[in-house]
Amino acid sequence: MAARASRNFLREALYRKANLKAFDGSRHSSSVAGTAPGTAPKIPHSSKKGMLLTGATIGLLIAGGAYVSTADEATFCGWLFSATKLVNPFFAFLDPEDAHWLGLSAAARGLVPKEKRPDPSILGLEIWGRKFSNPVGLAAGFDKNAEAVEGLLGLGFGFVEVGSVTPVPQEGNPKPRIFRLRQEGAIINRCGFNSEGIVAVAKRLGTQHGKRKLAEISRTSVSSNDDVQPGGKAGPGILGVNLGKNKTSEDAAADYVQGVHTLSQYADYLVINVSSPNTPGLRKLQGRKQLKDLIKKVQAARDEMQWGEEGPPPLLVKIAPDLSKEDLEDIAAVALTLRLDGLIISNTTISRPDPVSKNPVAEEPGGLSGKPLFNLSTNVLKEMYLLTRGKIPLIGCGGISSGEDAYKKIRAGATVVQLYTAFAYEGPALIPQIKAELAQCLERDGFKSVREAVGADYR
Ligand SMILES: Cc1cc2nc3c(=O)[nH]c(=O)nc-3n(C[C@H](O)[C@H](O)[C@H](O)COP(=O)(O)O)c2cc1C
């Protein structure tokens, strides 16, 4: 079964590579439904190379799997995660957007390893009444349409944020729109909120939610374990839903309110994204008055809905790293006055810090992410932690590629962290590595929990 699924998947991937132009218009419907094309593809030479490489990798995985079948579950799991590094050269050889599609489709079909080892207990924490088994999350933009939530959480992320989702489906900017700066560990993107829209995403999340509820009912009927396990509406992990606005929409607040009405029932937390550099005028919503009006409207929309015992999902705002001191003071004041539940710091930057500026790809318009963003976003995080006096949970994002980086963000004021670019380059093996390193950093410095380390740089 698994071998057949992998074969079909591989065939579809190669077909896609060979017929990229023909596929462009129907990318999502094809990838979501998982339909393999009817006719056998004519595979170009470069794809044959890729097929050999992947065939060899899958062979190795199967042979290795047979070899370690006598090993215990944790060893086998560690081995599987390490083995995923073997496919990184194949991914590097693909166009960035195709590589992304392939990785996401693999996760959506369960063709990625599942983390079976428990997280170190030092990494567990609770925010907004939700229990996180670890503070390392996947940032928005990777699973824009909630196609692979279960597979991605299964990789061991403490939380996954889907989106940005726009009310009406939109294509985003013309391709190519994602550019690698491999040497610098960075990406420039100008996707422009390519989204299947809130209805499609709600359907998908609703189906997953229903399945989980059924599974939970059958589980609780056979066990009476009262322990509250980490996790939220997406099962064993926390699910964030990041909301965007349509490019041509003139009423931004109405767009976010629609997102809240349609998607908040599935979310453990909601994000108003006002910081993408690729939607004209979006970042102006970070101004004091605009932000205040927007948050008030979105909070009102959320609060007038019917909520059960656990209450409405917390509301966060995701900000840019390119803001002035004055902008940050305004945002902090609004966040404190309106009792915002959290801030995500940060989105991509429109600046081109060294050494990126020397790379010709740096001239591509769009937002820069990855290693060169680390210092800039961490400085904004520090500033915001001080301005909000540690009263608002902050999610640190931007340039994290190791446990030490995650630790630095936490010391700078983040309660939990997120990453995208390093995961896109390194793949699943990076997640257990970051978690193990982070646990080591905390223990090394004598902290007993993540909580204790939050904002430690200022004590
Ligand atoms: C290709 C790409 C698409 C992205 N799309 C979104 C998006 O739709 N919404 C959003 O809030 N952030 C989006 N981001 C920004 C990331 O969520 C994150 O804030 C940023 O990449 C910094 O983290 P990193 O350095 O770990 O990648 C995107 C980033 C990349 C590279």
Do the beta carbons of residue 96 and residue 133 sit within 8 Å? no
pLDDT band at 62 (very low <50, low <70, confident <90, very high): confident
Please state, as a whole number, how many other Cβ atoms lie within 10 Å of the Cβ of residue 28.
Answer: 18
Q: For residue 21, what pLDDT is reported?
A: 40
Q: Which of 133, 264, 275, 276 is catalytic?
A: 276
- The verdict on the CB of residue 401 being under 6 Å from ligand 1 is no
Average pLDDT, the chain: 87
- The verdict on the CB of residue 400 being under 6 Å from ligand 1 is yes
Pocket test for ligand 1, best of 143, 420, 421 (most atoms within 8 A of CB): 420
The 10s digit of each residue's pLDDT in 322-372 is 999 999 999 999 999 999 999 999 999 999 998 898 899 999 999 999 999
Max mean pLDDT among 47-56, 117-126, 211-220 falls in 117-126
Q: For residue 183, what pLDDT is reported?
A: 94
Higher pLDDT, 183 or 67: 183
- The verdict on the CB of residue 194 being under 6 Å from ligand 1 is no
**pLDDT score of 270 more than 80:** yes
The separation between CA 403 and the C-alpha centre of its own chain, rounded to angstroms, equals 17
Residue closest by Cα to atom 2 of ligand 1: 141
pLDDT band at 22 (very low <50, low <70, confident <90, very high): very low
**pLDDT score of 46 more than 90:** no
- Residue located via tokens 């490489």: 53
Do the beta carbons of residue 130 and residue 232 sit within 8 Å? yes
Pocket test for ligand 1, best of 187, 191, 348, 364 (most atoms within 8 A of CB): 348
Instruction: Please identify, by atom number, the ligand 1 atom nearest to the C-alpha of residue 344.
Output: 19
Domain 2-458, CATH class in plain words? alpha beta
**pLDDT score of 28 more than 50:** no
**pLDDT score of 200 more than 60:** yes
Max mean pLDDT among 13-17, 68-72, 206-210 falls in 206-210
Maximum alpha-carbon separation in the chain: 65
Do the beta carbons of residue 105 and residue 9 sit within 8 Å? yes
Q: Among this protein's residues, is 276 annotated catalytic?
A: yes
pLDDT band at 13 (very low <50, low <70, confident <90, very high): low
Specify the 3-state DSSP secondary structure of 106.
helix
Rounded Cα distance between 135 and 416, Å, is: 5
Q: For residue 29, what pLDDT is reported?
A: 36
Residue closest by Cα to atom 3 of ligand 1: 141
**pLDDT score of 316 more than 80:** yes
Do the beta carbons of residue 137 and residue 417 sit within 8 Å? yes
**pLDDT score of 253 more than 60:** yes
